[in-house]
Structure 1
Amino acid sequence: MTTVSITETGAAGTGRALAAIPSPDISSISLGPLTIHFYALCILAGVVVAVYWSDRRWVALGGEKGTILDLAVPAVLFGLIGGRLYHVISDYQIYFDPDTPPNKEPIQALFIWEGGLGIWGAIPLGALGVWLVARRRGLSMSQLSFAIAPALPLAQAIGRWGNYFNQELFGRPTDLPWALEVSPYPNGILRPGMEPGEFTYHPTFLYESLWCVGLAVLLAWAGKRFDMRGGRLLALYVMGYCVGRFWIEYLRVDPANEILGLRLNNWTSLVVFLAALAYFLWAGRNLDRFSTQVVPTGHTQQGDVAAGTDDPSTESAAMTAESDHESETSAQTNANGADTTGRPQREE
């Protein structure tokens, strides 16, 4: 770790902060031919925690244990693709403009381990991956979103520490006691957003991480306190994240495209917040549209239609046959609570 001197002249001789959060000297370790990046480990840790908690919530709703793990694979793959696409498109100049620091090569747009995943692309494509599997298995997206929503910001809170190890996406220079010390690249070139002579900045990764932890707690509480069916809990997560991201984004100094004086991600936060709010209000007025079952009638947990087909008439016939069978069984039951085979009747 970088050593920080606490003197009256400030951290790293800048004359600013009396103390600072030190940044790590390394962002990866090598095990033979394998290089393990801490950025990737942070994202992986966030995914593991989110899957574990979501699965517990899903089981509590009556779902089958392990379902969330099955959904996590396509969700993560689609999410990584979407997150990277948003980052590369919104910050295209980093990879395709040789005059924009840090002057990366176009091929580096594929190097996810170097940082750069846009949550605005990760969430919708990750949700698409979940929807594709859930639709095939006949699972309720309303109930799935309820189970997953609080775990999403917790995963983000953990994943944001990847920015800490990469020393990226920090805020404006500051002399606050919790300022983050940022060092130039080893060749002496300043990192994107750094100012000459300034080495302590707002730790926006930490601000967002703490905000997301608080949001996860809020969602868990709201899910118990209010009726959040129909994806309303997920919409609340989106709104809560957008509020936090707006002011945190306002502090950041990394290169970004601007529209009318605001960074692109600020505008994205506003648009997404309004869309989530509109859906939240609409769903609240139409709760009767959404089932409370984790698996709609006519499906099993594995997604097979009860009658072996999606045809409503066939499904109805199967349900009628089942009803007739139950009637016959009931007729065979004697007054002492035993059926004609002598087996005792189970009490419910």
Structure 2
Amino acid sequence: MQAIIHFPEISPEIFSIPLFGMEFALRWYALAYIAGIIIAWRLAVLALNAPQLWPGQKAPMRAEQVEDLLTWIIIGVILGGRLGFVLFYQPGYYLTHPAEILRIWQGGMAFHGGLIGVILACWAYARRHGISKIQMADLVAYTVPAGLLLGRLANFINAELWGRPTDLPWGVAFPGQAAQDCGQALGALCARHPSQLYEAAMEGLILGLLLIWLTWRRQSLQHPGLNLGVFLAGYGMARFVVEFFRQPDAQFVSLGNPLGLAWHMGGYGLTMGQILSLPMIALGLYFALRRKPKQDQMV
């Protein structure tokens, strides 16, 4: 008999408060965002207050500017994440339902879109304040994985973005839509890969610890572009691998394409997540492997 781990009874809401006839709730996903931003802020301030980490013993910006930068980044995450989901995953639907693009509370955010939004926000902020763009990118890259870790844990608590069916002993029987029968071979309960936890470990914990170690032990900020390259390549490779275990996006699943491939030929292909990760891997390897003089600030 297959061993199945039943999904723990965890409410997506931490608590709710009735106020003025409305119900206000704090959800785990919101808490993950808040905690991730706070951790990123503190990590950035610590690095900026350690001039020995930077080329020429000089940080590219003041620690006090981080709070202002975070505002720009939050806007970039929200706008980029939402528009990325609309354009990458369901353009046809939102073309016919444009009013629903603004309904972020209904769900639908794409990491790769959010990343583009953050890049544009950081670029605009650095240009406005005369800050080295590549050094700012290195700083932000080393702070991001903590938020990814918490966000993927929140995905697991919300029982969303679950994995493909599996008969492995750590398969989890998620509630709701995920609990539908996987087929006679696996029995009535549908055990699935806890792909959210795979991503939390690879994109968040492992990548985060690697970047912290590189920053504080290997002086990676002395080499402009290295942190950025490690983050882009590391996330891209982690996401590419995990896509083999994630449940395919419903809009790409069709007759003859049960794996949910966004591009396929002769039975082989790539999911949308893998397609979007390939440029990240290529760009990340470029930044991580190139050799640049420490003194080159690339403003």
TM-score range, shorter chain: 0.7 to 0.9
Within the candidate set 170, 179, 200, 2:191 is matched to 200
**What TM-score, normalized to structure 2?**
0.77
Query: What is the aligned-residue identity percentage?
Result: 27
Q: CA deviation at 1:277?
A: 1.6
> Is the alpha carbon distance of 1:275 and 1:177 closer, same or farther for their aligned partners in structure 2, counting shifts above 3 Å?
same
In 1: Cα distance, 2:38 partner to 2:113 partner: 20
Are 2:231 and 1:237 aligned?
yes
Match of 1:173 in 2: 165
Structure 2 partner of 1:90: 88
1:125-149 Cα shifts (integer Å, max 9, x gaps)? 1122122222222222233233222
- What are the equivalent positions in structure 2 for 1:1-348 lying under 5 Å apart? 16-22=2-8, 24-27=10-13, 29-32=15-18, 33=22, 34-61=24-51, 62=59, 63-92=61-90, 95=93, 108-184=100-176, 190-191=177-178, 195=182, 197-211=188-202, 212-223=204-215, 224-225=217-218, 227-228=220-221, 229-255=223-249, 257=252, 258-260=262-264, 261-282=269-290, 284-285=291-292, 287-290=294-297
> SS at 1:65's partner residue?
coil
Identify if the C-alpha distance between structure 1 residues 106 and 137 changes in structure 2 by more than 3 Å, giving closer, same or farther: closer
Superposed CA deviations along residues 126-180 of structure 1, whole A, max 9, x for unmatched, are 1221222222222222332332222111111111123123311111123444333
Q: How big is the shift at 1:90? A: 2.2
Instruction: Give the secondary-structure state (helix, strand or coil) at the position aligned to 2:244.
Output: helix
Cα distance 1:162–1:285, how it changes in 2: closer, same or farther (>3 A)?
A: same
Separation (CA, whole Å) in 1 of partners of 2:181 and 2:110: 21
Query: How far apart in 1 are the matches of 2:69 and 2:12?
Result: 33
Larger Rg: 1
Inter-CA distance 175–139: structure 2 relative to 1 (3 Å threshold): same
d(CA) in 2 for partners of 1:80, 1:176: 36
In the comparison of the two structures, how many residue pairs are matched? 266
Contact 2:44 2:139 in 1 (8 A): yes
Structure 1 unaligned segments of length 5 or more: list them. Answer: 1-14, 99-104, 185-189, 297-348
SS of corresponding position for 1:31:
strand
Give the superposed CA RMSD.
2.9
TM-score (norm 1): 0.67
Kindly provide the amino acid, as one letter, of the partner of residue 50 in structure 1.
A
**What are the ranges of 5 or more consecutive residues in structure 2 without an aligned counterpart?**
52-58, 253-261
Q: Over residues 234-263 of structure 1, what are the superposed CA-to-partner deviations in whole Å (9 max), with x where a residue is unaligned?
A: 111110111111110111113254202210
**Which residue type is aligned with residue 30 of structure 1?**
S
- Once the two structures are superposed, residues 36-64 of structure 1 have per-residue CA deviations (whole angstroms, 9 ceiling, x without a partner) of 33322222221221111112112213453
Shift of 1:217: 1.0
Indicate how the Cα distance of structure 1 residues 166 and 17 shifts in structure 2: closer, same or farther if over 3 A, else same.
Answer: same
Deviations 1:5-30 (A, max 9, x none): xxxxxxxxxx6324344253444753
User: Are the aligned partners of 2:164 and 2:192 in contact in 1 as well (CA < 8 Å)?
Assistant: yes
Rounded Cα–Cα distance in structure 2 between residues aligned with 1:232 and 1:208:
22
Query: Counterpart of 1:172 in structure 2: which amino acid?
Result: R
Which sits farther off after the overlay, 143-152 or 76-85? Answer: 143-152
> Does the aligned pair in 2 maintain the 1:20–1:178 contact within 8 Å?
no
Whichever residue aligns with residue 49 of structure 2, its letter is V
Q: CA deviation at 1:68?
A: 1.4
Deviations 1:236-294 (A, max 9, x none): 11101111111101111132542022101112212221122223344x24555327xxx
